[in-house]
Amino acid sequence: MQLSSFQVYKYKNVLDSSEVSAEEDITTLVGMNESGKSTMLDALYRLNPVYGDGFVELEDYPRWRRSRDSRSEDLLQVSPIQATFRLDKADLDTLTATLGDGRRGCRQCAGRSPLQR
């Protein structure tokens, strides 16, 4: 499994990064000092943290927006990072072995592989 793209939303000093592509061979984050490069990497780390570090609303949500936004939405439900991954053949084989081919009980999907749906 390989990271394909990601987007950071309302995390520390990043309000919306828009979608960032991660290339197969190399991806660089370039920007001025204090522009959010480390914050982007920290958000990516939180996808699968080594030490179980989850998102902490009080520390991770943009402080200057927290009070206003908490009146209109549940900040614990905000997902600060979305990521898309590419699956290689081994990943797909493992998923199929674990979950089946996905054709059972799906009339609209009959005859198509799970990825074509």
Other Cβ atoms closer than 10 A to 8: 25
Number of domains into which the chain is organized: 1
Asked whether residue 110 is assigned to any structural domain, the reply reads no
Closest CA to 12 of 64, 74, 73: 64
Q: What is the pLDDT of residue 105?
A: 52
Asked whether residue 115 is assigned to any structural domain, the reply reads no
Q: How confident is the model at residue 8 (pLDDT cuts 50, 70, 90)?
A: very high
- The strand pair at 81-86 and 20-21 is best described as unpaired
Q: What is the pLDDT of residue 96?
A: 87
Could you read off the pLDDT of 27-41 as tens digits, one per residue? 788 888 988 899 999
Task: Write phi, then psi, for 10 (nearest 5 degrees).
Answer: 50, 60
Q: How confident is the model at residue 102 (pLDDT cuts 50, 70, 90)?
A: low
Q: What is the pLDDT of residue 117?
A: 45
Could you read off the pLDDT of 49-98 as tens digits, one per residue? 888 787 888 888 888 888 888 888 888 778 889 999 998 999 988 988 88
Asked whether residue 60 is assigned to any structural domain, the reply reads yes
Residue 50 sits in a domain of what CATH number? 3.40.50.300
**What is the 8-class DSSP label of residue 35?**
S
With 0.75 as the threshold, say if the pTM is over it.
Answer: no
Structural domain harbouring 27: 2-86
Q: Which residues does residue 8 pair with via DSSP β-bridges, in sequence order? A: 81
